Structure 1
Amino acid sequence: MNALPDAPAIAWDGVRRGYVPGATLDIPSSLRLHSASSDEVDPVTFEVIRYSLMNINLEHGRTLQRLCVSPVTMITRDFQPSITTQEGDLVFLGPYLQYFSNSQSLTIKWILEHRAEDPGIEPGDMFLSNDPFVGSPHQPDAVVAAPVFVGDELFCWVSNVLHHTDVGGSVMGSFCVDATDMFLDPPAFPPFKLVSRGVVRTDLEQMFLRQSRVPTNVHMDLRAAISANLVASDKITKLVGRYGADVVKSVMNRVLDAGERTIAERLRKVPDGVWSHRVYAEAARTGDDATYVYRMTLRKTGEHLYVDNRGTDPQAGSINVAYAGFVGAFLAALTASLTADLAGAYGGVYRRVHFDPVPGTLSCADFPAAVSPAGMYTMETLISLAGTVIGKMLACAEPEIAALAIGPAHPAFYGLVTGGATADGTPFIATNVDNMIGSLAASSAGDGVDFGGHFWIPEGTASNIEELELLWPMLFLYRRALPGGAAGAGRHRGGRGFVESAIPWKVPELVAAVYVDESFPKAVGGFGANPGSVGRFRLKHGCDVRTRMQDGQIPTDFAAITGADAAIEAKGPALRVADDDVWEWTGANAPGFGDPLTREPHLIVADIAAGSLPASAAERVYGVVLDTAGRVDESATATRRDALFAARLATATLPDRIETLPEDAPLRLLGGELATAEHDGESRQFVTVTGRALLGPTAANYKERCAVLDRPIRELGPEFATREGRAGWAIRHREYLCPVTGRRIDTEVLREGDEPLHDIAL
């Protein structure tokens, strides 16, 4: 789908374009808002009320977890409770899905501006919305928001947003990868009053449930959302009854102010500058093999951050997200990196972040763009993109702030949605989110975390295999760690993910509706590291698994299973899986940090001993030579690494001139091989650490003074192999090297013909 033609008359009102509230909300005067506060709140009372509010929000989340019936909610924790002020400003966010950071806030502000007069906002009401152009990242994420009144004044809001198993659309599970526009997506409902003065409006509830293939599950989860709001609302009402409305409101306001002071203090330790990054996606819909780019630029001026998406491709197919998703992804990465110690009190942080996205683009789409697969693709792409940009910014900060960088997330949520009917004819949709096992990227502080989950959903967990076999008609053959290797390699390696295989069980067939099969890696390693691994989905027809099981064998090697390999696309159609078929899918190894040829050799030996790295990868990936006893041959390793550095420079394109900084000149390390230094007593220059090569002023693009090694990414290692004809065949891996030593400074994954990115300017 092409970008819609822009027109001055189109407002950011949540109808044709994403909703962006103004500095002052347009709220009818007939709705009375509580805004008074007390100037006299002693420190003990402040702390008691602050932690009471935080715990009310946590109990709200635990109530959702206990009452929901869908694994994606009760196990994965794909939900988020919030408390906001009377005008929808966030006070507390829970430790659940963090890119819901602004979903409830935007939805509540829209309700205040558009529903206060008709049908009105009254005590006991609740509103439901799954409209991505108002506040939800995609349609399965439904917001239920409840106003809390004190007397006849609206005091605050409690709300939750949770992912429903299926809310309609052309694909079971409601990730409609075949959609070309919103009219093939699930229905998007702008906020409507679901509960009126404490009574559920069953006609509207039935309207929402009618869209779902599994209405019983959705009904129970929806009632859980209503019940959890009642629990939180009751506790806030009692808190107000004990301390008084003005005192509790004062605490809310001071929590917001404290968050703003915290982010301002930390931004003062970051130099003013501009940082940019881009991530590529493949295929906008089923049958597509094109490559698309998302770009994000972060500018820091004084104590404020400014974010835009210029350079992002026009909206296309189903890989879009509206304004709410773009903002939520950035805020999730920012708060995890810079203010995680605020424990969800992020509303004040948001005051210092300003967004200026280009509408009609992949990351800020206009209606009627299809957005339903965003929860598996685009949101994670943007979180990874934001994490990389923020990491670059923090690398330039003072050391205690630089240490907060956490690296890029997985660029997709590697998951699998299957469905069909059980032996008794009951329909099921199996949303397998075992990628909650996750893996965390490496950073300047050290290696990433194997199976470390995801920073953007701290409480998320994966299911036990036995739970899944109880829920769904399938039998799992294995679930184990992905091996280490070139994917995720670095001076500090990325955390490892997993691989899993299963077959249909006690049913003649099922359908694989949504899956991820990438042909090139998307998450780039920091400061010269290798990218993370690609997500794979493999399917074989007519296999010998059941015969081998009858002989007492459980196959654990997909390559050794006989059968015909199915042709798989990046975002392919639904695939029939018969009872003699088998599938395998993977999570991903996270990206590394720093040049792999600089990793300490003893860490290679430790990884091999722990089973984290095949011995064959030691020399191939890291240039580490081992003797027959598996110990490091120090001399041979130094010789081998010197040869590899020299080979890089022999193949690379060198700059026209190479200047170096004196050995005694002090450096300010940014990351890996990149540093800054004063030159000629005046200008500040980028410089390499070991070779001390000058790379130009810090306002210029240092990459123009690097040696550049450019090759197809498939040549980086067998881990990145792909077949000709897929998008990854034409993707390049560009290495920016110190022109003196050959050590990597940075890398880019990019489309053939794309220009180098000017990604750091101070």
Structure 2
Amino acid sequence: MTETVSAPAPEGSEPLAETPTVVWDGIARGYVPAEPLPVPASVRLHTTAVDDVDPVTFEVVRYSLMNINLEHGQTLQRLSVSPVTMITRDFQPSILTADADVVFLGPYLQYFSNAQSLTIKWILENRAEDPGIAPGDMYVSNDPFVGTPHQPDTIVAAPVFIGDEIFCWVSNVLHHSDVGGSVMGSFCVDATDMFLDPPAFPPFKLVDQGRIRPDIEQMFLRQSRVPRNVHMDLRAAISANLVAAEKITALLKRYGADTVKAVMNRVLDSGEKTVAERLARIPDGTWSHRMYAEAAHTGDNATYVYRMTVRKEGEHLYVDNRGTDSQTGSINVTYAGFVGAFLSALTASLASDLAGAYGGVYRRVHFDLVPGTLSCADFPAAVSPSGIYTMETLISLAGTVIGQMLACAEPEIARLAIGPAHPAFYAMISGGTTADGTPFIATNANNMIGSLAASPAEDGVDFGGHFWIPEGTASNVEELELLWPMLYLYRRAMPGGADGAGRHRGGRGFLEAAIPWGAPGLAAAVYVDESFPKVVGARGANPGSVGHFRLKHGSDVHRSFEAGKIPQDFDTISGTQAAIEAKGPALMVAEDAVWEWTGANATGFGDPLTREPERVAVDVAAGSLPAEAAERVYGVVLTGTGTTDVAADSAATDVRRRDLLAARLAAASAPGLVRTAPADARLHLLGGELALAEFNGARHFVSVTGRAVLGPVTGNYKDGCAVLERPVRDLAPEYATHKARAGYTVRHREYLCPVTGLRIETEILRDGDEPLHDIALAPTKES
């Protein structure tokens, strides 16, 4: 994987020969394993397998392996002491082949999908001869350039031997509360390079033939502000590996190594066959999307772009990141992070029924990433905040691109699309000392409550968690108050509104407020405050929510307590509101301060003006949508004023929606001559108002209701749309921001059917950026 470059020759001299530059070695650049993996001859890998396994034995061994991995995860969760592991389930156990292909992944953090595989392959390539790999060994690494998404995510990997051969590996990766760096909690938003980030340790042997090396363990623990927590969690990871390894060894003794290996191979082959069959039902083509981030580090106010393109040819996918901005600040990830984000979204959409047996799926995905970019950074880029920012951005980006691709598939495959995730992990990390002087770091991961995007067929799920961590849970408020010196005023659902609106609305998120309690104060180290939405709604839906963090100093909350009241509205609490940056510095929170932060309403699907009026009325009656938003957002005129007699006025709604659609077209720029598809041309629906139609010997993009011809399938359908563009802050009050923030100039572009005015698609873009060509299908032989 060595790149070469021709150096410029001095004037009048002979050209210099091509000289090698940076390799994908996990040191100066992310690690990309060579194929075949160059394992030293001194290491013996078990590769033999029986030719056939009877069906009963196959199922018994397959489920035994799957349950061993599940028990691995349960052991890890029970032994850990940090809430981020114990409650949130921010970890992942895996069983891997002798050469580190994933056989089973657990139901926990899915973007750890390739982290353990890459790290173990690196160990086999770089540590096998010195210091060697022996029975009872375990290696530890938190190096993002080798395999982990960011430094708090620490991998512990153990080989399982049969005789003198490595039969397989068991491994886990979990998020530690603090592993050093310039910011408590180790999300170093102020970092401009790796040298202000937490230390990144390439794989080192922590357990040597069953004996933990105390000198190495102490070196790792010394970096942390909460070493006792990290120590207990590290020992939990070691113990959980031992449990899994012992179970696999017993399985080998019962059924024989060659039989178990045959089952593992068949699991991989079956997963590959399943995804290949599904890919064959998607037309060849290219799909692309981009998303923006604001602020690369503390004090920054610029916007940055991430782009992802998927090309599908036959039964394979080819993924690239061309068009992504160059690495900068702390909003980067390495190759491992990008790959993990994409694979987590792909398997959740296309292969969730494989129940974690994803290694075969990975064989059909090929990555061609541009190094030195935000999504494939070279050393020494800072990456530690990626677990709260960039990883979620890339998962959401991947979910959008994959959803576009699946929309073009046969109906049984198209309905597997799950929509984009939140663009950030809305959270607050704080810390300080308790009244008795004990230091604490509070990683509030309550956004595990989450919300799920709408699908082409149904509304999203309120408080539905996140597809990329199925077993993730949020803490009860009482648990947090027991753990940390703070008192919660409220935690409740966010109101519905323009954010997340669509024909099918997105799931609702939540917001919560709290104060310091039993301590003189604390520091808010990491928080999320956005000035524009990052995730567009699919097929004409509105964007999702803008996440906010608010802080007031000198509040009257304690006086309210004395009066027997618990404040329930942040806006009515008195105090001085702090100025908040997108990625600001640590904020001092005194005893009399109060803070509130929000999760997010997920994105919807389809034009909000096509939502069934009765469903809008139901949302209003249930209290999940304010009555004023019914007409403002959905164009639905209601009758009745209470929760029991509210209903949609069909006739008035029809008139109101016609007026709104006419106003859209009047404000939009027209595409020129508008043609319509023949009445007898059959439509292949791509979701919402976009479809394919074949006539005159070629396939075309068309609008569904107006049947406007938007262009050939090899072109950009947006060229045939009417276009309405405005600042995203003008789209609805939910997206308002002020002039000093990055989102003030960000644009919202609507692509409308030139006949009806219905939205076909929308786009968020920086001022000055060109529209994106997001779908191009390969021509068929017939066309």
Give the aligned partner of residue 465 of structure 1: 477
Give the letter for the 2:312 counterpart: K
| 2:93 counterpart SS class | strand
Give the aligned partner of residue 759 of structure 1: 774
Alignment partner for residue 82 of structure 1, among 94, 100, 111?
A: 94
Shift in Å at residue 665 of structure 1?
A: 1.9
Give the aligned partner of residue 155 of structure 1: 167
Give the letter for the 2:652 counterpart: A
- 1-structure distance, mates of 2:65, 2:185: 35
Give the aligned partner of residue 727 of structure 1: 742
Give the aligned partner of residue 756 of structure 2: 741
| 1:348 counterpart SS class | helix
1:731-761: per-residue Cα shift (whole Å, max 9, x none)?
Answer: 1000000000000000001101111100000
Shift in Å at residue 8 of structure 1?
A: 4.2
Give the aligned partner of residue 699 of structure 1: 714
Shift in Å at residue 663 of structure 1?
A: 2.5
1:688-721: per-residue Cα shift (whole Å, max 9, x none)?
Answer: 0000000010010010110000000011111101
Structure 2 residue 631 is matched with structure 1 residue 619 = yes
Give the aligned partner of residue 659 of structure 1: 675
Structure 2 residue 416 is matched with structure 1 residue 404 = yes
Give the aligned partner of residue 729 of structure 2: 714
- 1-structure distance, mates of 2:77, 2:604: 34
Give the aligned partner of residue 307 of structure 1: 319
Alignment partner for residue 646 of structure 1, among 636, 659, 662?
A: 662
Q: Return closer, same or farther for 1:605/1:8 CA change in 2, 3 Å cut-off.
A: farther
Give the aligned partner of residue 233 of structure 2: 221
Structure 2 residue 413 is matched with structure 1 residue 426 = no
1:434-468: per-residue Cα shift (whole Å, max 9, x none)?
Answer: 00000000010210000000000000000000000
- 1-structure distance, mates of 2:580, 2:727: 22
1:633-656: per-residue Cα shift (whole Å, max 9, x none)?
Answer: 111100000000000000000012
Counterparts of 1:280-295 in structure 2, within 5 Å, are 280-295=292-307
Alignment partner for residue 689 of structure 1, among 697, 704, 712?
A: 704
| Larger deviation, residues 391-400 vs 25-34 | 25-34
Alignment partner for residue 396 of structure 2, among 379, 384, 389?
A: 384
Structure 2 residue 620 is matched with structure 1 residue 608 = yes
- 2-structure distance, mates of 1:39, 1:443: 43
Give the letter for the 2:668 counterpart: A
Give the aligned partner of residue 351 of structure 1: 363
Structure 2 residue 434 is matched with structure 1 residue 441 = no
Shift in Å at residue 506 of structure 1?
A: 1.1
- 2-structure distance, mates of 1:609, 1:138: 45
1:648-686: per-residue Cα shift (whole Å, max 9, x none)?
Answer: 000000012111112232111001000010121x11000
- 1-structure distance, mates of 2:45, 2:727: 60
Shift in Å at residue 628 of structure 1?
A: 3.5
Give the letter for the 1:761 counterpart: A
Give the aligned partner of residue 179 of structure 1: 191
Structure 2 residue 579 is matched with structure 1 residue 564 = no
Alignment partner for residue 39 of structure 1, among 22, 41, 51?
A: 51
| 1:576 counterpart SS class | strand
| 2:669 counterpart SS class | coil
Counterparts of 1:493-642 in structure 2, within 5 Å, are 493-629=505-641, 630-642=646-658
- 1-structure distance, mates of 2:598, 2:107: 26
- 1-structure distance, mates of 2:639, 2:70: 54
| 1:278 counterpart SS class | strand
Alignment partner for residue 62 of structure 2, among 38, 45, 50?
A: 50
- 2-structure distance, mates of 1:8, 1:483: 57
Counterparts of 1:70-149 in structure 2, within 5 Å, are 70-149=82-161
Q: What TM-score results when the alignment is normalised by the length of structure 2?
A: 0.96
1:473-509: per-residue Cα shift (whole Å, max 9, x none)?
Answer: 0000000000000000000000000000000001111
1:158-200: per-residue Cα shift (whole Å, max 9, x none)?
Answer: 0000000000000000000000000000000000000000000
User: Which ranges of structure 1 fall in alignment gaps of 5 or more residues?
Assistant: none
- 2-structure distance, mates of 1:372, 1:162: 14
Give the letter for the 2:700 counterpart: Q
Give the aligned partner of residue 34 of structure 2: 22
| 2:627 counterpart SS class | coil
RMSD: 0.8
| 1:9 counterpart SS class | strand
Segments of 4+ moved more than 6 angstroms = none
Shift in Å at residue 286 of structure 1?
A: 0.1
- 2-structure distance, mates of 1:702, 1:463: 46
- 1-structure distance, mates of 2:84, 2:559: 33
| 2:21 counterpart SS class | coil
Give the aligned partner of residue 180 of structure 2: 168
- 2-structure distance, mates of 1:752, 1:591: 22
1:41-81: per-residue Cα shift (whole Å, max 9, x none)?
Answer: 10100000000000000000000010000000011000000
- 1-structure distance, mates of 2:675, 2:40: 66
- 1-structure distance, mates of 2:75, 2:64: 16
| 1:671 counterpart SS class | coil
- 2-structure distance, mates of 1:628, 1:497: 27
Give the letter for the 2:429 counterpart: V
Give the letter for the 2:756 counterpart: T
| Larger deviation, residues 625-634 vs 222-231 | 625-634
Q: What TM-score results when the alignment is normalised by the length of structure 1?
A: 0.99
| 1:314 counterpart SS class | coil
| 1:298 counterpart SS class | strand
| 1:616 counterpart SS class | helix
| 1:242 counterpart SS class | helix
- 2-structure distance, mates of 1:711, 1:312: 24
Give the letter for the 2:762 counterpart: T
Give the aligned partner of residue 275 of structure 1: 287
- How many residues end up aligned between the 2 structures? 757
- 1-structure distance, mates of 2:293, 2:679: 43
Shift in Å at residue 9 of structure 1?
A: 1.7
Give the aligned partner of residue 16 of structure 2: none
1:309-368: per-residue Cα shift (whole Å, max 9, x none)?
Answer: 000000010000000000000000000000000000000000000000000000000000
1:288-316: per-residue Cα shift (whole Å, max 9, x none)?
Answer: 00000000000000000000000000001
Give the aligned partner of residue 196 of structure 1: 208
- 1-structure distance, mates of 2:518, 2:20: 58
- 1-structure distance, mates of 2:716, 2:372: 29
Give the aligned partner of residue 672 of structure 1: 688
- 2-structure distance, mates of 1:586, 1:316: 27
| 1:179 counterpart SS class | coil
- 2-structure distance, mates of 1:80, 1:536: 29
Identity value in percent:
77
1:371-417: per-residue Cα shift (whole Å, max 9, x none)?
Answer: 00000000000000000000000000000000000000000000100
| 1:299 counterpart SS class | strand
Give the letter for the 1:731 counterpart: V
Shift in Å at residue 632 of structure 1?
A: 1.1
| Larger deviation, residues 39-48 vs 566-575 | 39-48
1:5-41: per-residue Cα shift (whole Å, max 9, x none)?
Answer: 9984210000000000011111111111100000131
Structure 2 residue 273 is matched with structure 1 residue 261 = yes
